[in-house]
Amino acid sequence: MNVKYVILCQFVCGGVWVYFLLCKNSLTYPMRFILIFILSVLLYCSCDRKPIQFASPDQNIQIAFSLDEKGVPTYQIIYKGDTLINPSRLGVKVQDNPMDSALQLISSEVVYNKKPFNFALNEFYQEEDPYNEMVVKVKKNGQEMDIIFRAYNEGVAIRYWLRGYENIVISGDMVEVRFRENVKSFWAPEHTPHEKNSYYRSPLSTIQAAYRDARKEEYKYGAYPDSIYLALPFLVDNGHGKYLNFQQVYNYDANAFAFRLNPVDYTVYSSVMKEGCAKQVLTLPYYSQWIAIGISDSSEKLLESKMVYHLGIEEEVPDEPEKHPIRLFENNCYNNVILPFSRHYEGIKEYPLINIEHGAHSTLMHQLALHVVFNRPISVYNDYKGTVDDQKMAAYNFVRELPSEWSEMNVVAGELGKYVVVARKDAHSDNWFVGGITDGSARELNISFDFLDKEKLYKGFFYEDTEDADWLERPNNYKMEEVFVRKGNTFSFSMGYGGGFALILKEVKNP
C-alpha cells in the first residue's frame, strides 16, 4: 500500500478519534455509531497488508508471500537472516487474462513435514528430509490459480496450477528474481540442448557485455539479440557466504523457457525464450514447471542437494527423447568445476564430453577424475595419433577399473568455480573411487578419508599430477603411488594448473 495513503488514513483516524472523545457526551447514538464505523474503516485502511509467511522444516529458510493493493503477488526469501531475494513478482502472463495482477486472495494453507514421493515406485522416501508446502489460492475474472511454494532445508520450489478446461497461451514472464545487490553469477548463453556450451563468470551488471562477446563467436546467431537469455541451471554467489542454484524441472518442452536478464536492477525472469512468437499453448488444468532455488551456505551442501532430483522424480515427464535433452558443455577445467554444483536430475542432464586424447584444456589426471566427479559422463578414448604410449596406458587402467554403478556419493571438498573432490562407492563391492579437479589454478588439498568404512583396510592406487604438470604444456605428466589407507587417514594432493587426481581404494580382505 502507498505509504502516503497509509499516513493520511492514520492522521484522519486520529482526528476522528479525538473528536469522538471530546464530543461523545453531546453525540446522539446514531452519530456515535456512524463515527465508530468510520473509525473502523480508517483503521483497516491504515494497516498495510501483512505477508503470509512460512519456513523450511529447520526454520533456516523464510518465505513471505503478499498481495498488494493492485493485486500483484510477490514473494521474498530470507536465509539465516540474510535477504537473498528481495520482494519479487509472481504470476503467469496469459494472453487475454494475465494472472499476474488484479488478483483476489481466496485462501492460503500450509502443510508441514511432507515426504518426497517416488511415483515410479509408488512410495514415499521415508529416510529423506521432509518439506513444508504452502498453497495460495487466487482468482481473476472467474479464472482461479494456485501458487504453490515448497520449502526444503535445501531450498525453495515454486509452481502454478491453473484450473479450467480451455486452451491458454503463456505469453511472458512467470517468476521474477530480484537480487538485493550485484551478485556474482555463473551462467551460459541459452543454446539448443545438443550444442556444447561454456560457462562464464561475472557480476550481473557485466553479463550484458560478456553475453555480447560470447554470441559474436557464433556466426549462426547473426546480430546481437535485444534480449539476454541465459541457460539453466544458473548459479549465484552472493558474496556473503551464500550460494544459490536456479533450475527448472520440466513436465513439458524443456526448450521453451530460459532466464531473461535485466542487468540494470539485478533482476532475472523465468521467461519464454523468444519474444514476439506464440509461446506455449496449454490445455487446462495445468501445472507449470517447478522453479527450483537451491540455497546453501557452503558449496559442498549445494552439490549434495537432492531437492531437484526429488522434484524431477515426481513429474510425469513424457517418454519422447526430445523431452529428455542432454546438454553438452565444453570439456575444460573452467567448466568442469562449475557443472557438478548445478546438480544432475531426471529429465535434463548436463555432461561434459571427456576426450582424453584431444583438446581437453586440462591435465590427463583431471580427465581421469571426471569419471568420478560426474555420475555418468560421455567418454571418448580415441587416440588421434594412432598410438598410446605405456605411460598413458597405465593411466587408462584407472578407467578400466571403474564400476558400472555407484551406491554412495560423498562430496569430500569443494568450492563453486574453483575445485571439487568427490568420492563414490562401487555398488557391487566395498571399493571406493575418488576424483579431484581444479580450475586454471594450481592447488594443494588435504583430503581426509573419513568416508571409508570403519575397521577396514584399503590398498590405495593414487594417480596424481607431477609438480611440473599443467594443462597447456605438460598435461600428461603424472605419477602413480600405492598406499595403504584406513578411515580417518589424511593425505595431501597437489594439482597442477587445470589438474587433478584420481584414486582407487580397494578393500584388503585379509590384512
Instruction: For residue range 395-450, list pLDDT tens digits in order.
Output: 778 888 999 889 999 999 999 999 999 999 999 999 999 999 999 999 999 999 99
Q: Phi and psi for 356 in degrees, rounded to 5? A: -65, -30
Confidence of residue 286 (pLDDT cuts 50, 70, 90): confident
Q: In whole angstroms, what is the distance from residue 501 CA to residue 41 CA?
A: 71
Quote the pLDDT of residue 170.
74
Confidence of residue 78 (pLDDT cuts 50, 70, 90): very high
Give the residue among 69, 71, 17, 21 at the shortest CA–CA distance from 45. Answer: 69
- Among 227-231, 330-334, 352-356, whose mean pLDDT is lowest? 352-356
Quote the pLDDT of residue 305.
86
Q: In whole angstroms, what is the distance from residue 433 CA to residue 502 CA?
A: 7
- Among 21-35, 89-103, 118-132, 494-508, whose mean pLDDT is lowest? 21-35
CB count in 10 Å sphere of residue 60: 16
* Three-state SS at 494: strand
Please, are residues 212 and 343 in contact by the beta-carbon 8 Å criterion?
no
Q: In whole angstroms, what is the distance from residue 238 CA to residue 233 CA?
A: 16
Percent helix, strand and coil across the chain, each to the nearest 5? 20, 40, 40
Q: In whole angstroms, what is the distance from residue 161 CA to residue 174 CA?
A: 12
Q: In whole angstroms, what is the distance from residue 172 CA to residue 69 CA?
A: 23
Instruction: State the pairing for strand pair 73-79/61-67.
Output: antiparallel
Quote the pLDDT of residue 304.
84
Quote the pLDDT of residue 77.
98
Res 74 pLDDT > 80: yes
Instruction: State the pairing for strand pair 200-203/229-230.
Output: unpaired
Quote the pLDDT of residue 510.
75
Determine the straight-line distance between the first and last CA of the chain, rounded to whole angstroms: 74
Nearest-5° Cα angle at 406, 320 to 57 = 80
Highest-scoring range by mean pLDDT, 72-86, 160-174, 249-263:
72-86
Task: Give, in order, the Cα–Cα distances in Å from 117 to each of 78, 120, 129.
Answer: 27, 9, 12
Quote the pLDDT of residue 388.
54
Whether the bond into 73 is cis, omega within 30 of 0:
no
pLDDT tens for 129-178 read 789 999 999 999 888 999 999 999 999 999 999 887 677 777 766 899 99
Res 310 pLDDT > 70: yes
Any idea of the CA torsion for 316, 318, 323, 325, to the nearest 10 degrees? 70
Quote the pLDDT of residue 296.
94
The cell numbers describing 138, all together, are: 487466487
pLDDT tens for 315-337 read 655 444 444 455 677 888 998 99
DSSP string spanning 146-176?
Answer: EEEEEEETTEEEEEEEE--SSEEEE-S--EE
Q: For residue 162, what are the contacts with CB-CB under 8 A and spacing of at least 6?
A: 92, 94, 99, 143, 144, 145, 168, 282, 284, 285, 286, 288
In 332-418, at which residue ranges do the beta strands (DSSP E only) sit?
A: 349-355, 378-380, 406-415
Please, are residues 340 and 420 in contact by the beta-carbon 8 Å criterion?
yes
Q: For residue 28, what are the contacts with CB-CB under 8 A and spacing of at least 6?
A: none
Average pLDDT value for the chain: 80
Res 204 pLDDT > 60: yes
